[in-house]
Amino acid sequence: MIRVLLVDDQTVVRAGFRVILGSADGIEVVGECGDGPAAVELAGRLRPDVVCMDVRMPGGDGLAATRRILADAPADPPEILIVTTFDLDEYVFGALEAGAAGFILKDTEPDDLIDAVRRLAAGHGLMDQAVTRRVMAEFARRRPAPRPGEGVLELLTAREAEIVRLLAQGMSNAEIGARLFIETSTVKSHLGRAMTKIGTRDRLQTVVWAYRNGVARP
CATH of residue 14 = 3.40.50.2300
pLDDT at 14: 96
Range of the domain at 193: 145-212
Residue 136 lies in a domain: no
Domain final residue, candidates 125, 154, 182? 125
Residue 139 lies in a domain: no
Whether residues 105 and 50 share a domain: the answer is yes
Whether residues 152 and 106 share a domain: the answer is no
Q: Pick the closest to residue 30 from 6, 7, 62 (CA basis).
A: 6
- Domain of residue 204, CATH code: 1.10.10.10
Residue 190: pLDDT over 70 = yes
Domain final residue, candidates 125, 153, 177? 125
CA-CA distance, 75 to 91, in Å (whole number)? 25
Q: What is the mean pLDDT of residues 20-27?
A: 96
Cα atoms found within 13 Å of the Cα of residue 204, Cβ hemisphere only = 29
Alpha-carbon distances, residue 104 vs 57, 76, 213 (angstroms): 16, 22, 26
pLDDT digits (tens, 9 = 90+) for 85-138: 766 666 777 777 778 888 888 888 999 899 999 989 987 765 556 666 666 666
Number of separate domains in the chain: 2
Residue 142: pLDDT over 80 = no
Whether residues 111 and 176 share a domain: the answer is no
Dihedral angle, C-alpha 38, 40, 45, 47, nearest 10 °: 130
Whether residues 202 and 118 share a domain: the answer is no
Maximum average pLDDT range among 25-34, 53-62, 110-119, 137-146:
25-34
Single pTM value for the model? 0.78
> 130: which residues sit within 8 A by CB, 6+ positions away?
170
